Amino acid sequence: DSEVARQQDEISHTHLFLSALSHELKTPLTAIIASTGLLIEELDKRHEAILLKLAQNISRSASSLQNRLNELISLSKNKDESYGIAKKDFDFSMLVAEVADQVLSLAKKKKQTLNLEVAPYIKINADDQRIEQVLLNLLSNAIKYTPEGGQIFLRAAKDGNRLVVNVQDTGPG
């Protein structure tokens, strides 16, 4: 029983650490989100399309990070290891385009080509934040492990009532 008590104590310390870390990261992240919002407004007024797109990518990424932090805070408060799922109808194709925009600068840095083969409108019912997280992970890994000058393909199509997503790259493996 001392082993069980030790494990419970370790879990409690882990939850306290996650809670403290999340709260410490929240303040600077809120400032980043607010500043990016002001930057977007200013760039929009000046019709700086390329810089505006970059600022919008920063804003989306910061919001995504804020959502992950909120989940950590929730986990540490509830001491529950399950994530909530919030399903809703949304356009998967649009989400793919937004995620591709977020990682495009990483691909360009490595002179990689990101090819999207996704129908213009694919309506699905799922948790858009979770799907975004999965797509970001898949594309980030593809970029990371694809050599300079390589190609990355993201294909998506409906197959009956299923959505089939395929990420392929010219990297190893």
* Distance of alpha carbon 173 from alpha carbon 170, whole angstroms: 9
H-helix or E-strand spanning residue 28: helix 2-45
User: In the block, which residue shows the tokens 């200013």?
Assistant: 42
Question: Mind listing the pLDDT tens digit for each residue in 140-151?
Answer: 889 888 999 999
| CB distance 33 to 66 below 8 Å | yes
Provide the residue-wise pLDDT of the chain in tens; the chain has 173 residues: 788 888 877 877 777 777 677 767 776 776 687 788 888 888 888 998 888 888 888 888 887 887 777 777 666 666 544 556 889 999 999 999 988 988 888 888 899 999 999 998 999 999 998 898 889 888 888 988 899 999 999 999 998 889 999 999 998 76
